[in-house]
Structure 1
Amino acid sequence: MNANVVVVSGSGRYADPWHPFEVTSARVAEVLRDAGHTVTVTDDVDARLAALAAPGDVDLLVLNLGAGRTPDERDVVQSSDERDPLPLSDADAVTREGLLAYLERGGPLLALHVSSTSFGFMPEWETALGGIWVRGISMHPPYSRAHIEVATDAHPATAGIHDFDVDDERYTYLRVSPEVTELAWHELDGSREPVLWTIERGASRVAYDALGHDAASYDAPEHRAILAQTAAWLLGDA
């Protein structure tokens, strides 16, 4: 299936000082174009998500977002268990409405890496994604060569893909729903931590890939294959 894929790339309050979103979004777009899809990359995050309130021609939504460049932005955008629910600003409200409308229509979603920290103003995000980064609990050890264990052939996203090594961050102690299907892991201090999962909510398929800190992550052929095969599953092609 040649799908219309929109990659929404972190900028403004969805950027941060640590992740080169312009670079990684370009690499993701390259992988998906090589898989035969038409890919558009945009960094106008709130406007693009708000536009999803009305049905359109987006076959697959990919989110490659951060959670704030400054402490004030992170207080709003980053997930946290340390505060009461935030009142929605006008921008927050239309962003939330658009993303939730897309998912409720059955739109497929692929969220990447630090996107699990985003949308602190949207309490539904954790349920939609199947898990979340929790400020003060979740962490990652220093960027390093990581060994990734793969549930080979357990799901279309991992068909034919075996364990591999990749230069990346290893997200750890995410809060993960027992409803997800975990498909890849790393290990830290004896704890097996998921870095790839899928979940189905109603008619919508959702996948989360915790890898993807920088361009080096997409130098691993196994990671590129995971990305392409996950997209195929989300689109119903696998």
Structure 2
Amino acid sequence: MSTVVVVRGGWEGHRPVEVTDRYVTRLRQLGHEVVTSGTLDTYLDADLLRRADLVVHCWTMGTATGEQVAGLAAAVRAGTGLAGWHGGIIDSFRGSPDYQRITGGQFVHHPAEFVTYDVTPIGTHPVVAGIPPFTVHTERYQVHVDPAIEVHAVTVVDSVAVPVVWTTRFGAGRVFVTTVGHELKDLEVPEHDEIIMRGLAWASR
């Protein structure tokens, strides 16, 4: 049984409690211990993070203190996994390069309206192996990314393959990111839901 810490809050437009509850329920059904928190001070709780196998971070925008980011960084560096989707993980703490170093990417832009676009899994990584291309109608993120990330799904924008799903490592910790997830319905797309469940499992210690 793994211990999963879910930290959720920030901009309410992404409905952080509702969307994370989707996975809290399922993880508990699978037998995992899940601790939920609505405060970034969770990242100051070294004892909790030391026993956590995975942190699911869902906190859009907002501001974290240097100590809070350092606490998360220390936990991931020591082997705690980190996972999340959309702005909940890659539009947190826009003024914190130290946080962005952990996630391997940062949201920079999306069209004003929702768009319909294809997501194409690539490669044989366990997060996407065997999953066919799928279509979503939602915000399409464009991101700045660390060249060290490993990209597992893309969408094509103006003939350029833009990362949608990636993994990276920060010290001993594994990090999983998908840029899709503005609304609950985006998490209910079967192929995307499967990628998230696999991503949570892969990132866990």
Question: TM-score higher than 0.5 here?
Answer: yes
Corresponding residue to 1:145 among 109, 112, 116: 116
Bigger strand fraction: 2
Deviations 1:52-73 (A, max 9, x none): 47753211001111114xxxxx
Instruction: Give the 5 Å matches for 1:15-164.
Output: 15-16=11-12, 18-44=13-39, 46-52=40-46, 55-68=49-62, 77=63, 92-114=65-87, 115-134=89-108, 138-140=109-111, 142-151=113-122, 154-164=124-134
The one-letter code sitting in structure 2 at the alignment partner of 1:99 is: L
Larger radius of gyration: 1
Q: Equivalent residue of 2:152, what SS? A: strand
Deviations 1:165-220 (A, max 9, x none): 23332111x11111111011122232321111001222111111111111101211
Deviations 1:110-139 (A, max 9, x none): 1321021212343212221111124xxx32
The one-letter code sitting in structure 2 at the alignment partner of 1:199 is: T
Report deviation, 1:38: 2.9
Deviations 1:71-109 (A, max 9, x none): xxxxxx3xxxxxxxxxxxxx7133122112212212111
Q: Equivalent residue of 2:52, what SS? A: coil
The percent identity for this pair of structures is: 29
Count residues in correspondence.
204
1:170 matched to 2:114? The reply is: no
What corresponds to 2:4 in structure 1? 5
Distance 1:55 1:149, change over 3 A: closer
The gaps in structure 2 that reach 5 residues or longer are none
Q: Equivalent residue of 1:56, what SS? A: helix
Distance 1:202 1:94, change over 3 A: closer
Q: Equivalent residue of 2:163, what SS? A: strand
What corresponds to 2:169 in structure 1? 200
1:182 matched to 2:151? The reply is: yes
Report deviation, 1:223: 1.2
**4+ long deviations beyond 3 Å:** 30-36, 52-56
Task: Please tell me whether the aligned partners of residues 147 and 186 of structure 1 are also in contact (alpha carbons under 8 angstroms).
Answer: yes
The one-letter code sitting in structure 1 at the alignment partner of 2:100 is: E
Report deviation, 1:36: 4.5
**Cα separation, 2, equivalents of 1:139 and 1:130:** 18
Q: Equivalent residue of 1:207, what SS? A: strand
